A and B are shown apart, each in its own frame.
Chain A
Amino acid sequence: MTTSARRAYVAGPFSPARALGLAPTLALSLVLSLALGLTLGACSGGGDEPDEPGAGGTTSAVPTAPAVETVVEVGRVTGRLPKDARDRVVGEVAAVVDGWTQAAYLGGDYPRRDFSDSWPGFTTGAQEEARRDRALMSNEDIGERIDGVQLRRSRVRVDVLAVRQRAVGVTARVLLGFRTTGEVERVVRVEGRLYLTHTERGWRVFGYDVTKGTV
């Protein structure tokens, strides 16, 4: 079954105050993004199935499992943007995305009941929306019935809008696949788009269009 949530949250004439006020992005995300060596400009590798052969498993509950790297790719860059700036944007956006996937799905101690901090890097309004969609935008629906999450596939593809050689808007296309263990054992696939603009606190998600399904 696949469910979806779509939100593009804007507060009237955009209020900077609402665009801020987010939980900090997980530093881990940035490290991860940089460590995995951004496959900038690379084409998509392979299919979209989250449990493709060869995908290892990493989990917050099973730290000894082999790590699965998030594949970060540059998608469409619209407008001129120097390569170093492009690399920086993609890395920062990947970190924001990773902050969400860690906080919402992969991280924490399972069984887990509290998902209230699942959306770091989201604007305040987008957080409110995501909270309404928390069964989809986090593991809130199964958190108490699982004891672990094994990452099987993680990919972020970043489309950038650049104006006057500055990135002003980003669409991050996300694919995440993980297996849950415990009372509920299933392979879950989260896929969709996050929309981000840059604020004084860095890139922030103001909208999303996400599906969550069981493989």
Chain B
Amino acid sequence: MTAIVHGLESRCRKALRWGAVGLMLTVAALVVPASAVKSTEVALVKVDRADGVDLTPDVVWILAVGSDARPGEDMTRTRGDALQLIGMNTRTGAASAIGVPRDSWVSIPGHGYDKINAALYFGGPQLLGQAVGDLVGIQPDYVFVSRFKFFQAMIQGIGGIEVSNPVAFDDTYLKPEGFPRGRIHLGGYDAMAFSRIRHNLIRGDFDRSANQQRVLRGIQAKVRARAHVPGFIERGVLSVMEHLYTDLSPAELFRLAQVVAHVDPHKITTCVVQGGIGNVGGASVVLPSVAMARRLGDEARDDATIGHC
């Protein structure tokens, strides 16, 4: 008798499935539409590891940045609109995302205090990575920068995503009809809007960061479902190469993409750094809880797992 008995999924199925928080990297690597014209829609920069920063080799940290660059602007020299520090544990398949409100008022190396997203404008991905790293206590190995248009295309390329929306909200300009509460489908534009809206959210920037993490989870789930398709990852990596400014080799991208693709979605934990609202020079800023940021960093640094927010 020839019958394959699929039984007990072994505990060995621990692997590393796609991950976390959707990692823009992953997404980009996998769903970016090919383009005949090379354009810088995404930037992925390997960050020189600072001396004294002890990163466990099995844990990879990526800072995913959504740039607010307008058409024609260099997205690596504008301001980061979405900041998610994402860790992946290649041994356990765990992944975590630490969201940082973009208006967090922090010390930017060499530039004094400013909103953290200004670091991208001042010093590009390296400096932004350093600023976020200083806040959380984890220096990213890579900084990945994308922009809205590209992000939309990515979502569209995978046929949209599903997210669990905890509360209905809308936005006069971006989504006047709003997003209902519950499990909802988001196409390219909607995913962008869902990630950007903050004005009608109770906790503003904090809730928006959490929504970004919901989108990333949705992306992860979708990509994971397609990762087994022959040529899917290869095609994605090749596509992203056409849009990418990076010092990573194609082989490194391929390996990163595979790692992300194997993050276990059940081992994804996400938190947003909380804080208060302040006013500096007439501008509204977030005064981040450095203690919380450091605690999250301490919890996740070695295993990409956060016990609680």
Contacts and interface: CB of A to CB of B under 8 A. Distances in A.
Contacts of B234: 76, 78-79, 159-161, 169, 171
A78 B238 contact: yes
Contact of B15 (A79, A135, A209, A213): A209
B230 A4 contact: no
A191 to B, nearest CB: 9
B142 interface: yes
Interface stretch (B169-177, B185-193, B210-218, B247-255): B247-255
B258 A5 contact: no
Give the bracket for the number of chain A residues in contact with chain B.
Answer: 35 or more
Contact of A1 (B7, B235, B251, B259): B7
B308 interface: no
A89 to B, nearest CB: 12
Closest 5 CB pairs of A and B: A6-B15, A76-B231, A169-B254, A3-B10, A1-B7
Given A3-B8, A198-B251, A10 B256 contact: yes
Contact of B57 (A5, A15, A169): A15
B167 interface: no
Interface in A36-91: 49, 51, 75-76, 78-79
A12 B48 CA distance: 12
A215 interface: yes
Contacts of A207: 16, 255, 258-259, 262
Give the bracket for the number of chain B residues in contact with chain A.
Answer: 35 or more
A157 B2 CA distance: 23
Interface of A: 1-15, 18, 49, 51, 75-76, 78-79, 125, 129, 133, 135-136, 157, 159-163, 168-169, 171, 173, 189, 193, 195, 197-198, 206-207, 209, 213-215
Nearest to B13: A4
Given A9-B91, A171-B230, A207-B258, 10 more contacts: A3-B8, A8-B261, A8-B262, A10-B256, A76-B235, A163-B241, A207-B16, A207-B262, A213-B6, A215-B2
Contacts of A51: 2
B12 interface: yes
B15 A168 contact: no
B205 interface: no
B60 A10 contact: yes
A8 B6 contact: no
B231 A75 contact: yes
B90 A10 contact: yes
A12 B258 CA distance: 14
